[in-house]
Structure 1
Amino acid sequence: MSAIIVVDAFWGDSGKGKVAAFLAQKHQAAYSVRAGIGTNAGHSILFAAGSEIRTRQLPCGVLHPETQLRVGSGVARAEFALRKARQARDERSLADYTADVARELNESCLRGETIVVEGSQGTHLSLALSDDYPDCTSDNCTAAAFADDVGLNWRHIEEVCLVVKALPSRVGTGPLPLQLTPAEEDRRAIAEYGVTTGRRRRKASGISWPHLETAVLLNGPTQLALTFCDHLDPDVAGARHRSALTAPVQRLIDELETRFNIPVSLCDCGVHFENLIEIA
């Protein structure tokens, strides 16, 4: 296998880190590499045993012991590390931690190894592609942009996994279709807070199909990962097997596959890594 790119369909906070970690472990990835915007995008993984992984700059694909972690050369770095340097190689304190990541990744793919590229934020926060400017980020957040961030030859891209949050959310300003009130979020016990900022996220009552259609058009996914299904239907919370999926979740899976003719390969049914179910 070659490269798998993990990208968010909406406005971020969809559990991309969990999905990327699962794929890196499943395929025994040679490299897990972070693309996208820098440290303002936090990813986290919580395990049933109580341990947790939280990252801001590094990718989450650390579960397979032989997977090497990389950060693409096109990714914005932390200001405290770079100070006035424009690239990591220009900062002396980082000299021992720099490498030709693009060469490493492309040569790995040529050897038939798998790499997982973990994007940040979400498609509809893309600078040049979002309808919500200036309520967007400083770069594009699509599969093509992430490949460019890490210097990946497009011929090595074998899979694009589009992460679809069952009830999309958004932090800060900018429109959110089908937005719930905070009171309704609290009543349904589905309030969320950002990993990095701690800010409360605004949540929608369902998927905006026009926005998802655009995300599919821009990213060309080969598979979908449906996340936060326990917010769609609390009865599915804690599920670890496909047989435990509830009717509302299965209906959404069926609708996604019917609309886009793309398989839903993963279904996330709870807060723990173990609640990510492989269904295709």
Structure 2
Amino acid sequence: GPNAGHSVEFNGEKYGLRLTPSGFVHTDAKMLIGAGVLVDPEVFMHEMEYLNKYDVKERTFVDYRCAIIEKQHKERDQASDHLFKKIGSTGTGCGPANSDRVMRVAKLAGEIPEMEGHTTNVPLEINEALDEDQDVFIEGSQGFGLSLYYGTYPFVTSKDTTASTAAADVGVGPTRIDEVIAVFKSYITRVGEGPFPTEISQEDAEEMGIEEYGTVTGRRRRVGLFDMGMAKESCMINGATQIALTCVDRLYPQCERTQNYSDLSSEIKKFIDEIEGETGVPVTIISTGPDLEDTIDLRDELL
């Protein structure tokens, strides 16, 4: 839902998004939001206008069975001392809306006028695309460590965040998945409360140049070093077949915007080797900067 923000930088322009899939920059791609995703109509409509230069309104649709976040859900979220103050909820109404979905009282996208003309049958569209050998990319949001089942409970989000659930949320069966890419940042961040074994002080984060702020809340993120134990568990539970390693340039500024693996320092290569050795999963994509072009793609060499 709109509780997890993601930043996309393309051709030097930066976009902060909450619902629209990051593939919007590909103007021939169709963006579909599956039934397992909560939709706030205000956020959805704002992003359709915000990204109008990419004509997203004509190619972005939500499943008619998506549960709707209403004003009262946001009010309940922000008024809850447990959710908003203890857990550190983003206050976007996702927990209460998911609660109403479980109680079978949530409104669905196909039932409200605000979403008229913006809904479709997402599983049917995706599976027909697969039948025609088209490429389908399923994007999940929020980290594995925030999974309702496998994360740092109770300091987690209101749903499971694993690859299996992402596939189920858009109506794709497990036999149709070819690759599972686990996306690891070179260091860890989290917004809100909860255990954080590798956390470092904000002063150390500033000194390392890796301080961050949340896309949705604007709150300063807590920062920690790479957690190999969590990486191994994430690869195991998600069934990862590839790893995309991002923000390498933030940890190792000397490699900023590098596009060739051979140009990386021995220190970075050692870090990558350690991740591959511990997880048993190849690192196939390395991000060395914020723009889409700042990427080292090793998939042709390793797959």
Q: Structure 1-normalised TM-score? A: 0.81
SS in 2 for 1:106: helix
* Correspondence for 2:241 among 222, 232, 240: 222
1:244 aligns with 2:263: yes
Q: Which has the higher contact order (CA 8 A, sep 6+)?
A: 1
Q: Distance in 1 between matches of 2:127 and 2:163?
A: 16
What does the per-residue CA deviation read over 1:96-141, in whole Å, with 9 as the maximum and x for residues that have no partner? 01100011111111111111111010111111222x2210000000
Q: Match of 2:101?
A: none
Q: Structure 2-normalised TM-score? A: 0.75
CA contact (8 A) 1:190 1:231 kept: yes
Q: Match of 1:76?
A: 38
Q: Distance in 1 between matches of 2:16 and 2:41?
A: 19
CA contact (8 A) 1:169 1:176 kept: no
What does the per-residue CA deviation read over 1:43-95, in whole Å, with 9 as the maximum and x for residues that have no partner? 11123x43123321110112332110111111011164743852111112212
* Correspondence for 2:19 among 57, 60, 65: 57
Give % identity: 34
Q: Match of 1:260?
A: 279
Q: Match of 1:269?
A: 288
Deviation at 1:279, TM superposition (A): 2.2
Q: Distance in 1 between matches of 2:179 and 2:39?
A: 26
Root-mean-square deviation over aligned CA pairs: 1.6
Q: Match of 2:135?
A: 114
Q: Distance in 2 between matches of 1:243 and 1:200?
A: 35
> Max radius of gyration: which structure?
2
1:40 aligns with 2:19: no
SS in 1 for 2:234: helix
Name the stretch that deviates more: 175-184 or 96-105: 175-184
Query: Going by fraction, where is helix more abundant, 1 or 2?
Result: 2
Q: Distance in 2 between matches of 1:50 and 1:173?
A: 33
Q: Distance in 2 between matches of 1:196 and 1:240?
A: 30
Q: Distance in 1 between matches of 2:264 and 2:34?
A: 37
AA partner of residue 122 (structure 1): G
Aligned residues: 240
AA partner of residue 103 (structure 1): L
AA partner of residue 275 (structure 1): D
CA contact (8 A) 1:257 1:264 kept: yes
1:175 aligns with 2:175: no
SS in 1 for 2:243: strand
AA partner of residue 257 (structure 1): E
CA contact (8 A) 1:44 1:53 kept: yes
Q: Distance in 1 between matches of 2:207 and 2:144?
A: 29
AA partner of residue 74 (structure 1): G
Q: Distance in 1 between matches of 2:191 and 2:133?
A: 39
Q: Distance in 2 between matches of 1:63 and 1:136?
A: 30
AA partner of residue 46 (structure 1): E
Q: Match of 1:87?
A: 108
| Aligned positions of 1:124-273 closer than 5 A | 124-130=145-151, 132-205=152-225, 207-273=226-292
What does the per-residue CA deviation read over 1:239-273, in whole Å, with 9 as the maximum and x for residues that have no partner? 22223212221111111222233211100112222
Q: Distance in 2 between matches of 1:221 and 1:97?
A: 33
